[in-house]
Amino acid sequence: MAKEVAISKRAKITEAQEYMIFSVLIAALFFGAALALTLHFIEQISFNTEVIMAEEEAIVKYSDAIKTSGICQAPKGSIYSDEELKKCDPDSIEVSSIPNTLRYNILKNLASNEELNSVARETSSCINPKTNKNYTYAELEENYDNATSSSELKTAVQLIKICSSLRVISDALPSSKNSEALGASINKIFNDSDYAPESISVSSDSTKVSETLNSLSYSFNVESDFETALKVLTNIERSIREFDISSATISWESDISLSLQFQATAYYINPITISETTKTIKPKGASK
């Protein structure tokens, strides 16, 4: 009898142990799943937070770029809303309403520089039909201030770009090689000096000077009297286009005539473009 009781107790203990082990296994399984899900959610939250922060940073930089350049009116808040960007029209903005922007500084300060505006403008579009003379900057600004529509504003801004000192800057350092334009510039110097050269040789090959600057070589001869040769040299020095004379040979042909042979260099700058960039954010552990 005692033996049967002992066996029965052992069986119950064994059964209890099996239930306990099974319960522990079930609990461990649920705990493991809960832990894995928790870690997954933490990673998702961390990843989404990183994406949101990167997006907000990009939006702030984009808004700052627009505000600094003066493309749109200043936003009501710290950044532009989608609605404000949709309504943005650069051609209808009064420059006086966007002070301290790049656009304001160019059109109001740089374009009105009297020293640069003193350079002659000979394009037909720069002749004021009212005076039959070149537009003064005051007249260009008056046209802009009196514009009543976006098309008139656009035309006024275009006149300022072409007929003010802004054009002089682009002429001084062009953004393209354009060998023909360089030859025309040199020929104009000769015409202003009352001298007709026999030939002007401009190289079609360019040389890289720096990351953004390139050079073109050219050569020309001057055979004339001393006064004309001096006038040519003076006009080259006064030219708004940057010229470097690398070598020159001067020889007297007679008592009143001399010959000048020049090897020189002109420059142009690579155009600067602004493009959007893409930043890819991947979750931790994702393959690159």
Residues 265, 228, single domain; the answer is yes
Q: Which two tokens stand for residue 276?
A: 């959007």
Residues 224, 235, single domain; the answer is yes
Residues 96, 68, single domain; the answer is no
Residues 187, 165, single domain; the answer is no
Kindly state whether residue 193 falls inside one of the protein's structural domains.
yes
Residues 127, 156, single domain; the answer is yes
Residues 64, 118, single domain; the answer is no
Residues 8, 76, single domain; the answer is yes
* Nearest by Cα to 144 from 107, 117, 169, 118: 107
Range of the structural domain that residue 108 is part of: 89-171
Amino acid identity at 210: S
Residues 97, 73, single domain; the answer is no
- Please tell me the distance from the alpha carbon of residue 241 to that of residue 171, in angstroms, as a whole number: 6
Residue where a domain stops, chosen among 85, 112, 134: 85
Mean pLDDT of 240-257: 77
Distances (CA, A) of 123 to 79, 154, 159, 171: 42, 19, 11, 13
- Number of domains composing the chain: 3
Kindly state whether residue 25 falls inside one of the protein's structural domains.
yes
Residue where a domain stops, chosen among 51, 85, 119: 85
Instruction: Give per-residue pLDDT as tens, 188-247.
Output: 788 878 887 766 778 778 888 887 788 888 887 778 888 888 888 888 777 777 778 788
Instruction: Give per-residue pLDDT as tens, 133-162.
Output: 778 888 888 888 888 888 888 888 888 877
The whole-number pLDDT of residue 265 equals 85
Given CA atoms 122, 116, 136, 232 in this order, what sign does their dihedral have? negative
Kindly state whether residue 259 falls inside one of the protein's structural domains.
yes
Q: Which of the four pLDDT bands, split at 50, 70 and 90, describes residue 172? A: confident
Residues 238, 261, single domain; the answer is yes
Residue with tokens 């000096």: 193
The whole-number pLDDT of residue 4 equals 63
